[in-house]
A and B are shown apart, each in its own frame.
Chain A
Amino acid sequence: MPAALRDSLLAGLVAAALALPMLGVRLVDSATGLSLAGRFDLVAWAAGLVFGGRLLLRLIPPLPAMPVLPAGFGNLRPAAGWAMAAFAVLLPFLPFADRNVVDKATLVLIYIMLGWGLNIVVGLAGLLDLGFVAFYAVGAYSYALLSQSFGLSFWVCLPLAGVLSASFGLLLGFPVLRLRGDYIAIVTMGLGEIVRVILQNWQELTGGPNGISGIERPSLFGLSFKAVPPEGQRSFAEFFGLDYSGDHRVIFLYFLILILALATNLFTLRIRRLPVGRAWEALREDEIACRSLGINPTTVKLSAFGIGAMFAGFAGSFFATRQGFISPESFTFMESAVILAIVVLGGMGSQIGIVLAALLLVGLPEWFRELQQYRMLAFGGAMVLIMLWKPAGLLSHREPTIRLDGQP
């Protein structure tokens, strides 16, 4: 008991010392010039809060450990995945789903897709990539420029953007090949910034900081979502005999990203069972062992980089067509950090974990915009809490890729 008290007093003192310069003084602008005014009540509050909180933490017995899930729970995982997919399909038709909800869900889905793409690089192949947003940017600019310069439609540009991003991934993969762990993170971070700076400064091609606006919106098999369809096209509403509504396009975009994201997921689930996918995971576990088994780490790493980049490219061109406007500001380092946080919080390699983490990291801050400046505080706090509570991520269980018949 006295130990707890002493410990809490110490914490309170530290808090007071920190709060004194940070909260305790304030610049006051008066007629005679600037002067300092004390706000010692705030300091007292901060010290008191820390003291009380620390004491509570010491006195309350430690939280009970996470309940161990029953043995059959692992079998629920595919079911949970199907339930989530079904919910995602039905979402736009549910009574509470207005335009706003569908729009936010679209944003979350973009990050889920980016998370699934990065998961191939970080979660499966174990290459810590802090510049993933570069490929997202390449995809977005590919579509915007191809569409504006050559008048190509979204559906032609989508695969092209994927190919361009993938080749970019291979290109950026080369300097990373000889590096390991933390060094990869630093180099990819630098490469990501280089891409952004180029986009910002190559005025003639990318429009520089002004970005590219008026990007063509996608059509559904030639059916336009505009109120007045362009020459030679029919509008979606007209074709299906509906009244024109702006919501149609929002819902269409939602389904488009849902299909793209699910395709990414399906691809990852399949490739994990193929030799390439298994080699990625083995490389994450132990590179030397991989070499001793005759695996060429160069091709394995490059394939992970290229394929991850391809999905970022798809997501990027979707982003461009949804926004109708892109600028380098959308592709800052913060984006890379958020996508990486989604993968790590989700539990490296877990597909469902990434969905949960994306909902948490992108969905919640969007829904709680009313909290304004406290939003980022809550965001940071949530990240710290998750890492304390589940250091390996929300769902860190790894599903084996192969089982023999008749075995549990």
Chain B
Amino acid sequence: MLKVEGLHSGYGRIRALHGVDLEVRQGEIVALVGANGAGKTTLLMTICGNPRASAGKVWLAGEDITGLATHHIIRRGLAHCPEGRRIFPRMTVLENLQMGAATGDPAHFDQDLERVLELFPRLKERLHQRGGTLSGGEQQMLAIGRALMSRPKVLLLDEPSLGLAPLVVRQIFEIIAAINRDQGVTVFLVEQNAFHALKLAHRGHVMVNGRITLSGSGADLLANPEIRAHYLDGGAS
């Protein structure tokens, strides 16, 4: 569904990605874990066309989307839920969701809204509250819900656990599993919380300094002693 081949990218003269190969198949959850500054967020941003890839290709559903402008890429069925949630704080929850549907067919709006509110009953209670007054977990739910409003083929999630309490993190990951299982949305997840991410994912990749160093099924990677030493031991769960 989403395929990345030999992707190079960076900011100005700083190179952040050195040839990344990766594939996310239809209906899968794929996790990308790695330390701070490994290039995980840069990979997501490059897939979305900002910054542009300096070499390599990105395919979405068989179509080459390398070098397209961000809004064209998103309109082809990619939803990007950016790092740090980035909801619209002064707009209400409903308005936030409406913005998520900005590029979609207005005829689907009511149906999509109902689907998202079913997934996040908390948002239904807070529909007319300003986004900025929500708790961190609710804001993350809103960010995911907003991304789902466009009926994406692939959902890109950048650190959905960022700054959330462990219990809330578990809730969010359960919801991500449900989105994938019940609604058939393909998910590409970037996380520092390796334990939760790999437990959830069908397949996982580890990124170090702009390269993928390890790949495998989520369970295999979780059992890998090297990963345990680097990302899990020390109470990451």
Given A281-B88, A289-B82, A398-B90, answer yes or no on A296-B69 (Cβ-Cβ < 8 Å). yes
Cβ-closest chain B residue relative to A292: B80
A279-B91 Cα distance, complex, nearest whole Å: 11
A-B CB pair tally, cutoff 8 Å: 84
Given A279-B102, A289-B87, A291-B50, answer yes or no on A401-B146 (Cβ-Cβ < 8 Å). no
CB of A292 within 8 A of CB of B74, answer yes
CB of B89 within 8 A of CB of A293, answer no
| Contact pick for A286, options B86, B100, B103, CB 8 Å | B86
B159 to chain A, nearest CB (A): 14
Query: Is B128 in the interface zone, CB < 8 Å from A?
Result: yes
Within 8 A of B (CB), among A262-306: 275, 278-279, 281-282, 285-286, 288-296
Given A278-B99, A291-B70, answer yes or no on A286-B48 (Cβ-Cβ < 8 Å). no
Main secondary structure on chain A at its contact with chain B?
Answer: loop
CB of B50 within 8 A of CB of A289, answer no
Given A285-B89, A289-B82, A292-B48, answer yes or no on A400-B94 (Cβ-Cβ < 8 Å). yes
Within 8 A of B (CB), among A88-135: none
Which residues of the partner chain A approach B66 to less than 8 Å between Cβ atoms?
A: none
Interface residues on A, range: 20 to 34
Cβ-closest chain A residue relative to B85: A289
A250-B210 Cα distance, complex, nearest whole Å: 71
CB-CB contacts of B56-92 with A at 8 A, as 1s and 0s?
A: 0000000000000111001100011110001111111
Cβ-closest chain A residue relative to B48: A292
A281-B90 Cα distance, complex, nearest whole Å: 9
A286-B142 Cα distance, complex, nearest whole Å: 15
CB of B82 within 8 A of CB of A288, answer yes
Given A289-B87, A292-B48, A295-B71, answer yes or no on A402-B94 (Cβ-Cβ < 8 Å). yes
Query: Is B127 in the interface zone, CB < 8 Å from A?
Result: yes
Query: Is B150 in the interface zone, CB < 8 Å from A?
Result: yes
A144-B49 Cα distance, complex, nearest whole Å: 47
Best-buried of A278, A292, A408 by chain B (most CB within 10 Å)? A292
Can you give 9 A-B contacts (C-beta < 8 A)? A281-B95, A282-B88, A285-B90, A292-B48, A292-B74, A294-B74, A296-B71, A402-B94, A404-B127
Residues of A within 8 A of B (CB): 275, 278-279, 281-282, 285-286, 288-296, 398, 400-404, 407-408
Top 7 A-B pairs ranked by shortest CB distance?
Answer: A294-B74, A285-B88, A294-B103, A289-B86, A296-B71, A292-B80, A400-B92
Known A285-B91, A293-B100; 10 more pairs at CB < 8 Å: A278-B102, A286-B86, A286-B88, A289-B87, A292-B70, A292-B74, A292-B80, A293-B99, A402-B94, A403-B94
